[in-house]
Amino acid sequence: MDIPGVGTATRTYGMEDVPVAQGDSRTLRMVLTQTYIPVPGTTDQVVLVSGASPVLDLAEAFHDIFDAVTSTFRFV
In this structure, how many other beta carbons lie within 10 angstroms of the beta carbon of residue 65?
15
Give the residue-averaged pLDDT of 18-31: 93
Dump pLDDT digits (tens) for 34-71.
999 999 999 999 999 999 999 999 999 999 999 999 99
Q: What pLDDT, on the 0 to 100 scale, is given for residue 55? A: 96
Q: What pLDDT, on the 0 to 100 scale, is given for residue 5? A: 87
From residue 65, how far is each of 5, 6, 71 by CA, in Å?
19, 19, 10
Q: What pLDDT, on the 0 to 100 scale, is given for residue 8? A: 93
Structural domain boundaries of the chain?
2-70
Give percent above pLDDT 90 in the chain: 91
Q: From CA 46, how far away is CA 61, in angstroms rounded? A: 26
